[in-house]
């Protein structure tokens, strides 16, 4: 292998700036950057000199690991690998089945999360309980509020302060395996009927009060967000009637759908897109009687141990070039017009990911009250232990 | 053996013990100090990780759920009044735990018997070690493996080859019982093995010499003598099963619900710490009562049949 003639020569200022930008864009790895600029060798040598640069300016106190709390099948694993290559920070991923579970962990304390992915309706409560910090936007130069779709992102701002920035939006619909289920399912009313008949023993509902109770309410003609005792009682009656016919109560339904253990499930857009991509017989439909439209955010817990790394990863994910890869992998629609421009046509043309505006009309955003309402919480717990 | 794990030592026994261990005061003090020093770490451990949390739980059980979830100070019996809403979970636990323990026993006894009585002594150690080998892998991972074995691509797939279509095994009470027997088998085998291993072979010979058939020797001699091991195993597995969470969660699909699952739900989803605490306190009380009654009966039975060889 021939050596470049300037291999060991000091790097020029222009070249350094150039490489730094490439690193910042995520086009090159940290290893490449340190190697080509000679900074890796320099820091390695300096690190051996006691007293010199004892504050590690280059490592930027990011530490060697951080932790994120998120949803099942929600990220491109390559994203975290690339982030680790660029910063040296390994990302531990914790997945959850409901926002309530995330809230419970944060309330109990000691989560160790440096970044997490709450859904729109929870943010005001997190702020009220003092569980999340206002974001320091100067640490997120890649985030641009002006390119975001306000409809999906407004709940990240409380009292004019930005507490959370959007990851993506989506819907909660029905995924069904058309090779197993022949009855047409177009509404939540159909969902619960088919769950007790053709899909007996093969349908799944989320382990999540918002969607499981919400969709049961919708199927009965009530609001997705109802907390009225008499409407909740009707929903409970329906859920308890359906329960013996269910395959499982679990928010991680992809493995069961892929194995065809389950034939039909409540399903988030991103999972619907992933399932349909790999198994075209699995279709994703939105309830024409209603259901949920949502957006997920990134927020940093007040208790985060490694906030620097939390910000670093968040800024990394806000970079449109990185976000595009995430969107292609997880199949959720973007809130950011910069990302939209970069997405390939087969993604933007996918009706599961970007459905017609008309089909979104009956859907409702989750309401903050459902998160803390004792009636819904206890209904869900009773349903599960019935 | 007779006194093992039975009622606490009564005052009479204490006096007897004192008389037996009578010695000059100075030595006694020194002895007490040594005893105290030896007991202190364990006592501190129990105090910090068992007694104090239990007290916290008791306090919580009489409190209220805060508006956003968690605990709010109060003094009310409301949480205990709501216990009937978890009757199904209590019932599942109270039925499936003993049934699981008994199934475990049925599978474990022949294995323990083989290991202790029939196995070639040269290989016994290896065979006994094999029983505990599964513990080298986390129960979580092994239970996950069962999800694949019982899932559509596992046994049901094989069944479909012989024409049985769409058989569903996963997320049924049967799957949970299978997981329980599989997971807890080593805990049942070990105590039975230990009690059978100590079995005096001369008793078996005597039984045969007196004309008993192998079957009556087994039921008349071997089984009664191994009862302490059986009881220990059944008690151990039952107690652990009463708090089981993992196996019903993974193999029951969140549908076969143990009280442990109800507890997790109350703390991690509904964030109703007071009600969760009330259920936990009730569970502890129920377990203590069941255990005391069961052990009394068991050791009375075992005790009357105990044969002391001098």
Q: Which residue has the higher pLDDT, B8 or B77?
A: B77
A129–B68 CB contact, under 8 Å:
yes
Domain check: are B29 and B67 in the same one?
A: no
> Which residue in chain B is spatially nearest to A256 when comparing CA positions?
B151
- Token code pair at residue B168: 């569903």
Is residue B229 included in any domain, yes or no?
yes
How many domains in chain A?
Answer: 3
Give residue-wise pLDDT tens across range B282-293. 999 988 888 788
For A174, phi then psi, to 5°, come to -120, 125
**Out of B88, B253, B266, closest to residue A386 by CB:** B88
User: Would the CB atoms of B253 and A248 count as touching at under 8 Å?
Assistant: yes
Which of B92, B271, B274, B282 is the best substitution to test chain A (most A C-beta atoms within 10 A)? Answer: B271
Say yes or no for a CB contact (<8 Å) between A372 and B69. yes
Are residue B198 and residue B124 in the same domain, yes or no? yes
How big, in percent rounded to 5, are the helix, strand and coil portions of chain A?
45, 15, 40
pLDDT tens column, A66-91: 999 999 999 999 999 999 999 999 99
Same domain as B297, residue B278: yes
Are the beta carbons of A250 and B254 separated by less than 8 Å?
yes
pLDDT surpassing 80 at residue A191: yes
The answer to whether B68 contacts A248, with C-beta atoms less than 8 Å apart, is no
A384 closest CB neighbour out of B170, B171, B265: B265
Q: How confident is the model at residue A183 (pLDDT cuts 50, 70, 90)?
A: very high
Q: Is residue A1 part of a domain?
A: no
For residues B50 and B99, membership in a common domain is answered with: no
CA distance A246 to chain B (A): 8
Residue B151, in any domain of the structure: no
In chain B, what residues touch A125 (CB-CB under 8 Å)? 68
Nearest chain B residue to A126, by CA: B68
Banded pLDDT at B26 (limits 50, 70, 90): low
What's the pLDDT score for residue B95? 87
Is the pLDDT reported for residue A61 higher than 90? Answer: no
* Pair B228, B131 in one domain: yes
Query: A304 to chain B, minimum CA–CA distance in Å?
Result: 20
pLDDT tier, A56 (very low <50, low <70, confident <90, very high otherwise): very low
Task: Report the percent of chain A where pLDDT is more than 90.
Answer: 82
Q: Is A338 on the interface with B (CB under 8 A)?
A: no
- Average pLDDT in the A154-177 region? 96
Cβ burial B32-56 (10 Å sphere, 16+ → b, else e):
eeeeeeeeeeeeeeeeeeeeeeeee
C-alpha A184: how far from its chain's center? Answer: 30
Q: Are residues A179 and A275 in the same domain?
A: yes
Question: Rounded CA gap, B173 and B100, in Å?
Answer: 11
Q: Which of B89, B254, B272 sits opposite A249 (nearest CB)?
A: B254
Same domain, A281 and A368: yes
In terms of Cα–Cα distance, which of A362, A372, A99, A73 is closest to A211? A99
- Residue A65 in 3-state DSSP? strand
User: How big is the CA angle at A239 (ends A234 and A242), to the nearest 5 degrees?
Assistant: 130
pLDDT of B3: 40
- Give residue B90's domain range: 62-139+175-305
Q: Render A84-146 in DSSP notation, one character per residue.
A: HHHHS-EEEEEE-S-HHHHHHHHHH-----SEE--BGGGHHHHHHTT-BPPP-GGG-TT--GG
Cβ of A88 under 8 Å from any chain B Cβ? no
* Position A2 in a domain: no
Number of domains in chain B: 2
CA distance B282 to chain A (A): 16
Distances from the Cα of B48 to the Cαs of A82, A197, B52, B185, in angstroms? Answer: 44, 53, 6, 31
When pLDDT is cut at 50, 70 and 90, the band that residue B307 belongs to is: very low
CA distances for A242 relative to A195, A199, A386, B50, B230, angstroms: 7, 11, 11, 40, 41
Question: Are B257 and A378 inside 8 Å of each other by CB?
Answer: no
- Token digits of residue A333: 């629609």
Q: Please compute the mean of the pLDDT values over residues A170-194 and round it to a whole number.
A: 97
Q: Do B35 and B128 belong to one domain? A: no
Considering the domain boundaries, does residue A56 fall inside one?
no
Residue B191 sits in a domain whose CATH number is 1.10.3720.10
For residue A249, the chain B residues in CB contact (below 8 A) are 253-255
pLDDT(A97) > 80: yes
Contact A30, A88 (CB under 8 A): yes
**Whether A192 contacts A243, CB under 8 Å:** no
pLDDT confidence of residue A47: 46
Of residues B65, B254, B268, nearest to A374 (C-beta): B65
Distances from the Cα of B22 to the Cαs of A178, B14, B18, B51, B261, in angstroms? 83, 12, 6, 33, 52
Number of H helices, E strands in chain A: 19, 12
A contacts of B255 (beta carbons < 8 Å): 243, 246, 248-249
Q: What is the pLDDT of residue B92?
A: 87
Q: Which residue in chain A has the smallest CA separation from B155?
A: A261
Give alpha helix (H) positions in A131-278: 150-153, 188-196, 209-219, 229-242, 254-258, 269-278
Of B70, B268, B270, the CB nearest to A378: B270
Q: How confident is the model at residue B201 (pLDDT cuts 50, 70, 90)?
A: confident
Mean pLDDT of B254-258: 86
The per-residue pLDDT for range A105-124, each reduced to its tens digit, is: 999 888 999 999 999 999 99
Average pLDDT, chain B: 86
Q: Do A382 and B85 touch (CB under 8 A)?
A: yes
Q: Are residues B190 and B252 in the same domain?
A: yes
- Which is more confident, B182 or B68? B182
Confidence label for B254 from pLDDT (cuts 50, 70 and 90)? confident
pLDDT at residue number B206:
92
Asked if B50 and B124 sit in the same domain, the reply is no
Q: What mean pLDDT is reported for chain A?
A: 89
- Domain assignment present for residue A7? The answer is no
Q: Based on the fold, state whether residues A73 and A183 are members of the same structural domain.
A: no
Q: What is the predicted pLDDT for the residue at B181?
A: 94
The answer to whether residue B117 sits within a structural domain is: yes
pLDDT value for B310: 36
Indicate the pTM of the whole model. 0.81
Residue labelled with tokens 């004309």: B211
Burial class from Cβ neighbours inside 10 Å (0-12, 13-18, 19+) for residue A12 reads exposed
Judgement on whether residues A200 and A341 belong to the same structural domain of the protein: no
Asked whether residue A176 falls in the same domain as residue A228, the answer is yes
A189 inside 8 A of chain B by CB: no
Distance, in Å, from the CA atom of A239 to the CA atom of A235, rounded to the nearest integer, reads 6
- A255 and A375 share one domain: yes
Does residue A162 sit in the same domain as residue A188? no
Instruction: Check residue A291 and give left, alpha or beta (phi > 0: left; psi -120 to 50: alpha).
Output: left
DSSP state letter for A75: S
Q: What per-residue confidence (pLDDT) applies to A2?
A: 43
Among chain B residues, the shortest Cα distance to A370 is held by: B68
Structural tokens at position B50: 């068992």
Cβ-Cβ pairs closer than 8 A, A with B, add up to 91
Asked if residue B107 is part of any domain, the answer here is yes
Average pLDDT, stretch A214-227? 98
Give the residue from B68, B154, B260 with the most A CB atoms within 10 Å of its CB, the best one to mutate: B68
Note the pLDDT of residue A355: 96
Q: Are residues B66 and B44 in the same domain?
A: no
Residues B186 and B245 placed together within one structural domain of the fold: yes
Q: Does residue A381 belong to the interface with chain B, where contact is any CB pair within 8 Å?
A: yes
Cβ separation B254–A247 shorter than 8 A: no
d(CA B212, CA B256): 46
B37 and B79 share one domain: no
Quick check: is A80 in a domain? yes
Pairing relationship of beta strands A65-70 and A115-116 according to DSSP bridges: parallel
Over residues B175-192, the mean pLDDT reads: 94
Residues A238 and A109 in one domain: no
Strand partners for A365: A293
Planar angle of CA A66, A70, A73, nearest 5 degrees: 115
Per-residue pLDDT tens digits for A277-299: 999 999 999 999 999 999 999 99
- State the pLDDT at residue B23: 52
**Inter-chain residue contact B270 with A381, CB threshold 8 Å:** yes
Lowest mean pLDDT among A214-223, A227-236, A293-302, B70-79: B70-79
pLDDT in tens, A344-364: 999 999 999 999 999 999 999
Of residues B222 and A49, more confidence is placed in: B222
Q: How far is B135 from chain A (nearest CA, A)?
A: 25
A233 touches chain B (CB under 8 A): no
Of residues B11 and A210, more confidence is placed in A210
Does the pLDDT at position B257 exceed 80?
yes
Q: Is residue B233 part of a domain?
A: yes
3-state helix, strand, coil in chain B (%, to 5): 75, 0, 25
B308 has pLDDT over 60: no
* A191/A263 same-domain check: yes
User: Residue B99: what pLDDT?
Assistant: 92
Chain A neighbors of B152, CB-CB under 8 A: 259-261
Note the pLDDT of residue B286: 87
- Nearest-angstrom CA–CA distance, A20 and A22: 5
- Alpha-carbon distance of A67 to A105, in angstroms, equals 14
A267 shares its domain with A205:
yes
For residue B6, being part of any structural domain is answered with no
With respect to residue B149, please indicate whether it lies within any of the assigned structural domains. Answer: no
Mutate to test the interface with B, among A374, A379, A380, A383 (most CBs of B within 10 A): A374
| Domain presence at residue A337 | yes
Q: Are residues A72 and A87 both part of a single domain?
A: yes
β-strands A165-177, A282-285 pairing: antiparallel
Note whether B168 contacts A246, CB cutoff 8 Å.
no
- Which residue pairs, CB below 8 angstroms and at least 24 apart, start in B83-87? B83/B278, B83/B279, B83/B282, B85/A378, B85/A382, B85/A385, B86/A385, B86/B259, B86/B262, B86/B279
Q: Do B152 and A209 touch (CB under 8 A)?
A: no
Tokens read off for A166: 């959007």
- Is 50 exceeded by the pLDDT of residue A45? no
Stronger pLDDT, B164 or A66, i.e. the higher one: A66
Is the CB of residue A181 less than 8 Å away from at least one CB of chain B?
Answer: no
Interchain proximity B268–A101, CB inside 8 Å: yes
Query: Is residue A248 less than 8 Å (CB to CB) from chain B?
Result: yes
Q: Are residues B36 and B99 in the same domain?
A: no
Does A240 reach chain B within 8 Å, measured CB to CB?
Answer: no
pLDDT, tens digit, 9 for 90 and up, residues A370-379: 999 999 999 9
Q: What is the CATH number of the domain that holds A182?
A: 3.40.190.10
Q: Supply the pLDDT for residue B31.
A: 86
**Under 8 Å between Cβ of A164 and A298:** yes
**Sorting pLDDT into bands at 50, 70 and 90, what band is A17?**
low
CB contact under 8 A, A104 and B271: yes
- Domain encompassing residue A287: 170-293+355-385
The encoded tokens of residue A8 equal 């060991």
- The verdict on A286 and A186 lying in the same domain is yes
Q: Please check the confidence at residue A30 and state whether its pLDDT lies above 70.
A: no
Q: Which residues pair with B272 in a beta bridge?
A: B70
């Amino acid at each position: 292998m021939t050596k470049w003639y300037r291999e060991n020569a000091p790097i020029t200022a222009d070249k350094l700036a150039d490489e730094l930008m490439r690193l910042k864009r995520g086009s090159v790895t940290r290893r490449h950057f340190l190697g080509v600029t000679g900074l890796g060798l320099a820091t390695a040598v300096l690190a051996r000199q006691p007293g010199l640069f004892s504050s590690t300016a280059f490592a930027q106190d990011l530490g060697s690991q951080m932790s994120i709390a998120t949803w099942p099948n929600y990220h491109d694993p390559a994203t975290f690998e690339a982030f680790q290559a660029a910063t040296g920070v390994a990302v531990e991923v914790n997945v959850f089945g409901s926002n309530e579970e995330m809230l419970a962990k944060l309330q109990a304390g000691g989560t160790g999360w440096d970044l997490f992915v709450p859904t729109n309706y929870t943010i005001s409560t997190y702020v009220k309980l003092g569980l999340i910090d206002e974001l320091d936007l100067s640490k997120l130069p890649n985030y641009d509020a002006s390119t975001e779709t306000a409809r999906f992102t407004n709940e990240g701002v409380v009292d004019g302060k930005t507490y959370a920035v959007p990851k993506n939006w989506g819907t909660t619909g029905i995924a069904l395996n058309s090779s197993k289920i022949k009855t047409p399912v177009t509404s939540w009313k159909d969902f619960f009927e088919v769950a007790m008949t053709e899909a007996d023993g093969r349908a799944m509902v989320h382990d999540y009060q918002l969607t499981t109770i919400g969709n049961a309410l919708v199927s009965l003609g009530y609001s997705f967000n109802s907390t009225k005792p008499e409407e909740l009682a009707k929903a409970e009656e329906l859920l308890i009637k359906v329960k013996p016919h269910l395959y499982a109560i679990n928010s991680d339904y992809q493995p069961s759908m892929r194995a065809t253990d389950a034939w039909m499930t409540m399903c988030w857009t991103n999972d619907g897109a992933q399932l349909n991509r790999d198994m075209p017989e699995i279709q994703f439909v939105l309830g024409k009687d209603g259901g949920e439209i949502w957006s997920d955010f990134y927020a940093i817990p007040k208790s985060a141990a490694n906030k620097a790394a939390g910000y670093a990863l968040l800024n990394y994910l806000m970079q449109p070039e990185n976000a595009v890869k995430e969107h292609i992998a997880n199949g959720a629609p973007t809130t950011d017009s910069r990302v939209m421009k970069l997405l390939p046509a087969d993604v933007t043309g996918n009706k599961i990911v970007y459905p017609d505006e008309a089909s979104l009309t009956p859907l409702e955003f989750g309401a903050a009250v459902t998160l803390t309402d004792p009636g819904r919480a206890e209904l869900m717990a009773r349903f599960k232990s019935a | 053996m007779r006194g093992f794990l039975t009622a606490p030592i009564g005052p009479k026994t204490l006096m007897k013990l004192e008389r037996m261990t009578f010695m000059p005061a100075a030595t006694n003090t020194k002895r007490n100090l040594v005893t105290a020093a030896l007991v202190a770490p364990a006592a501190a451990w129990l105090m910090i990780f068992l007694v104090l949390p239990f007290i916290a739980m008791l306090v919580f059980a009489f409190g209220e759920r805060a508006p956003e979830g968690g605990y709010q100070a109060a003094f009310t019996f409301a949480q205990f009044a709501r216990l009937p809403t978890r009757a199904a979970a209590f019932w599942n636990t109270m039925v499936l735990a003993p049934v699981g323990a008994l199934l475990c026993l049925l599978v474990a006894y022949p294995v323990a018997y083989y290991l202790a009585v029939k196995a070639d002594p040269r290989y016994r150690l290896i065979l006994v070690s094999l029983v505990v080998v599964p513990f080298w892998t986390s129960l979580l991972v092994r239970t996950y493996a069962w999800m694949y074995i019982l899932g559509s691509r596992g046994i049901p797939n094989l069944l479909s080859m012989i024409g049985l279509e769409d058989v569903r095994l996963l997320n049924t009470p049967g799957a949970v019982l299978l997981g329980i027997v599989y997971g807890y088998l080593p805990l049942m085998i070990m105590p039975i093995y230990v009690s059978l291993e100590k079995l005096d072979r001369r008793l078996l010979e005597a039984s045969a010499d007196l004309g008993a058939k192998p079957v009556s020797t087994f039921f008349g001699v071997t089984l009664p003598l191994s009862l302490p091991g059986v009881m220990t195993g059944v008690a151990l597995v039952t107690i652990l099963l009463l708090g089981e969470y993992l196996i019903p969660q993974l193999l029951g699909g969140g549908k076969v619900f143990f009280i442990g699952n109800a507890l997790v739900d109350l703390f991690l989803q509904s964030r109703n710490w007071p009600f969760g605490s009330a259920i936990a306190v009730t569970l502890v009380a129920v377990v203590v009562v069941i255990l005391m009654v069961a052990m009394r009966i068991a050791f009375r039975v075992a005790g009357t049949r105990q044969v002391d060889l001098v």
